[in-house]
Structure 1
Amino acid sequence: MLNSVVTWIDAPETATDGPLSGMRVGVKDNIDVAGVASTCGSRFFADRIARTDADVVRLLRAAGAIVTSKLNMAEFAVGVTSQNSAAGGVRNPWDLERVPAGSSGGSGAAVAAGLVDASLGTDTGGSVRLPASACGVAGLRPTWGAISNGGVFPVSARFDTVGPMARRVADVARVFDVLTTRRVTSGAAARRVGVPRTFITDDIDPAIAAAVETVAGAMARLGYEIVPIDIPGVEDAQDVVYTLLYSEVAQLHRDRLARSPSLFQKATFERVSLGLDISESQRAAAESSLLRYRRTLARTFGEVDVVLTPTMPIDVPPVEESDDVVAQSRRMGQFSYPWSLHEGPTLAIPVGFHPESGMPIGAQLTAAADREAQLFELGQRYQQITNWHNVIPPIMMG
């Protein structure tokens, strides 16, 4: 079994008309659905019932989608394995002894297992992209602010996004078009794809490096110009995110940490507590680094249209709890966190399977702000010449 992936919602048997008519959609359990429990995977919110629909749920329903389920997650969306949930850990439908990544682990697993046609997750440091990669589906971290966070319990106001997941990039694009609250710049089609000579580290699983190299070759055959690039400062980006993000998370949960620390899942407590000792001078230094890094990225997207990187540097881990959850989080999110400092979109797509474990491998495509259309076009063209997104996991339900 997938172990507490989903809580079903009473839904109409017939769909209303609209661009998403009949699409079965599940939403992460930090996204409010009126009259339904919204626990954020935490004992703190065990009895919390949402009074109104989140903005994204309202838009889904207006477009004809059938919101069928609330999906399990890492507690308070803090965690990269989705094992730290009061509802029990989520398992990966490709291998029940491995994690689905996180924090939107239920959202990724539900799509892969066929429980829903699409899902919504939230992505602060990689929480849509990592589960998409680990579960073999597509997932979008949109341009910051392009989709409303209204009715979504926060992690960080400055980094939070809501993002759709589905097998096909075309379906991710359909959901995004319904949810976006502002005009997306179509612009010219992407022509130049940048591939970093070294993206943060050379310490990457060889099978993952080879898979992403094969993606670059496929894109070259599709007519895109592949451009080797460097991104100065990327090696420090994860530290910058951690400083700014965890100082904010600690403030958000300060009262809970002080009054009822034992109610937290152990892994959540360890990560939320990271921010308690971050000083104002450390925050100020991180803010300066953020501005410099964004200037670097602006120059990068003046030279290329899209940047191709791996999603995770390692194979999908087993469910056994790590002795050092912070180190595990940093390692799994090593390639996702740097793009969380970028205001533009990143699309994760399935690009193969690990030759030893058989687990999915994902790649990230990143563009300038409001250039989702470029990612969708590139992702759809890639899926037209590959079949990774159509492969069914052994645990297939629905």
Structure 2
Amino acid sequence: MTRSVDADALNAVVTPIPLEHQGESGFGPLAGMRIGVKDNIAVAGVTTTCGSAFFADGAPAEQDSPVVASLKAAGARITATLNMAEFAVGVTSQNSAFGGPRNPWDRRRVPGGSSGGSGAAVAAGIVDVALGTDTGGSIRLPASCCGVTGLRPSVSVVSNDGVFPVSPAFDAVGPLARSADDVRRVFEVLVGREVPPERAVRIAAPWPFVTSDVDPAIESALRRVVAILHDCDYEITDDPVPSADRAQDVVYTLIYSDLARLHSERLTTEPERFQPATLERISLGRRISDSQRAAAETDRDLFRAAMAEYFRTVDVVVTPTMPVDVPLISDDPSVIPISRRMGQLSYPWSLHIGPTMSLPIGFHPQTGMPMGAQLTAAPGRESRLFELAATIQRETDWHLRTPPGALRT
């Protein structure tokens, strides 16, 4: 007998979409696939709330965003909009409109963010695939926390039209699904072309990456994955990633200065309407000077030049997605310390313009929560990530495991 997930308890869905408005499901490469959409991406006839009290009572979107339109044209059914961190700010998925989503593996814990509802809905079987957005780790962190596979594509490869922004220079729309194969199928529709797997040869597994202060269970899981790749005849190196330890502060400076500008009027006229943690984070941008931003832009360009050189000799680099176990939901109004810690290893790959994928690499021996690894490649080389992820998922079953009560498809 199929066990039914308590979707209400997860708080992952914002708006269920009636069957007659889900799109045609009989034809196309994604025929019948159930897809949920993060609630900062426009779906015709549905209010795009961005998880915020500012937009919760707004008018429905007049038309689909290009990414939603392409999925419908490919036969997918758009079944729901999904909960998220307010204005896609933060990795704990707090918001002022509906309260945050919860992790289906342990509802006391965060699902990651900002695409927390997307990660939770896929893990729980509410949808087959979800669209998320990733600025500093907002697809990869929910994928890791919820035990699914998520892709942050190369910057500007997938359309951001009809998506409420965080920082346009960093925002990327991408899919989350149980398997890398389903992620690839949806990505091909989003970019309008086939992406055949391309075998990577030289795999870098630098240790430490950014910090040596990584949960020992996560370090051990990553080493198991690297051993699997070695046994599958990939060449393994330990080439260090240059300047990765500085990347988080560079990205923070650029993103938060963008956020302060984007929300300037709301910060001035109605700051009390923000969820407190969102207000705290967006307000950081007001203290960033023009000279600090200019210095961060210079550091960004230097990092990207170093990455272009790095990927001349490395095909894919393997790093942990998070350095810590999935945190418990906290009543602490300040989420900045835990947010910085959760995103410590995702932010360098946000500064990079190439693709990064997070996939499951096991479960924490003390808590049973999922753990994830990031695979990163040069710009436009998503094909190498799909091939490597498919290899890992052929050799393991971590991505097939589901939380108690998950819907079976």
Deviations 1:289-339 (A, max 9, x none): 111111111121111100000000000000113453111111000000110
Question: Equivalent of 2:18, from 10, 16, 28?
Answer: 10
The answer on 1:129 being equivalent to 2:140 is yes
- Counterpart amino acid of residue 247 in structure 1: S
Give the alignment of 1:142-157 within 5 angstroms.
142-157=153-168
Q: Is 1:320 equivalent to 2:330 in the alignment?
A: yes
CA shift at 1:149, angstroms? Answer: 0.5
Q: What CA distance in whole angstroms lies between the structure 2 residues aligned with 1:317 and 1:394?
A: 19
Change beyond 3 A, Cα 1:103–1:196: same
The change in CA–CA distance for 1:188 and 1:381 in structure 2 (over 3 A counts) is closer
2:302 to 285, 292, 301: 292
Shift of 1:249: 0.6
Change in Cα spacing, 1:25 to 1:188, as seen in structure 2 (3 Å) is closer
TM-score after normalising by structure 1: 0.97
* Equivalent position SS for 1:140: strand
1:67 and 2:67 correspond: no
Q: Deviations over 1:176-212 (max 9, x none)?
A: 000015786x695210110112211001100001101
CA shift, 1:83, in A, is 2.6
In 1, Cα distance between equivalents of 2:379 and 2:225 = 23
Bigger mean CA offset, 194-203 vs 238-247: 194-203
Counterpart Cα distance in 2 of 1:187 and 1:217: 21
- Please state how far the C-alpha of 1:218 moved relative to its aligned partner: 0.6
Structure 1 residue 84 displacement after superposition? 2.8
Distance 2:362 2:127 in 1: 22
- Contact residue 27 and residue 75 of structure 2 kept, 8 A: yes
Aligned length: 397
Counterpart pick for 1:96 among 107, 119, 122: 107
Q: Which amino acid counterpart does residue 76 of structure 2 have in structure 1?
A: A
Query: Residue 233 of structure 2 aligns with which residue?
Result: 223
Whether 1:301 and 2:311 are equivalent positions in the alignment is yes
User: Hey, what does 2:3 align to over in structure 1?
Assistant: none
Q: Partners of 1:381 and 1:206 in 2: how far apart?
A: 24
**8 Å contact 1:322–1:328 — kept in the other structure?**
no
What is the CA–CA distance in structure 1 between the aligned matches of 2:192 and 2:346, rounded to whole Å? 24
Q: Which among 258, 265, 268 is matched to residue 275 of structure 2?
A: 265
Q: Is the 8 A contact 1:148 1:181 kept in 2?
A: no
**Counterparts of 2:78 and 2:194, CA distance in 1:** 25
Q: Which residue of 2 aligns with 1:354?
A: 364
Q: What is the rounded CA distance, in whole Å, between the counterparts of 1:42 and 1:249 in structure 2?
A: 15
Question: Which consecutive unaligned segments of at least 5 residues does structure 1 have?
Answer: none
Cα distance in 2 for residues equivalent to 1:102 and 1:73: 7
For residue 11 of structure 2, what is the amino acid of its counterpart? Answer: S
| Gap change, CA 1:291 and 1:277, over 3 Å in 2 | same
CA distance in 2, matches of 1:32, 1:188: 33
The separation in 2 between residues aligned to 1:341 and 1:144, in whole angstroms, is 10
CA distance in 1, matches of 2:405, 2:99: 18
How many angstroms apart in 1 are the aligned matches of 2:192 and 2:206? 32
1:372 matches 2:379 = no
Matches for 1:1-398 after TM superposition, within 5 Å: 1=6, 2-6=9-13, 7-12=15-20, 15-48=25-58, 49-180=60-191, 189-322=199-332, 324-397=334-407
Q: CA deviation at 1:230?
A: 1.1
* Equivalent position SS for 2:366: coil
Identity rate of aligned residues, in percent? 58
Partner SS for 2:348: helix
Change (3 A) 1:188 1:70: closer
Helix, strand or coil: the match of 1:45? coil
Gaps of 5+ in 2: 1-5
User: Which region of structure 1 is more displaced relative to structure 2, 140-149 or 192-201?
Assistant: 192-201
The amino acid that maps onto 2:138 is S
CA contact (8 A) 1:72 1:85 kept: no
Q: CA deviation at 1:51?
A: 1.1
Structure 2 CA distance for partners of 1:323 and 1:162, relative to 1, 3 Å: same
Q: What TM-score do the two structures reach when normalised by structure 2?
A: 0.95
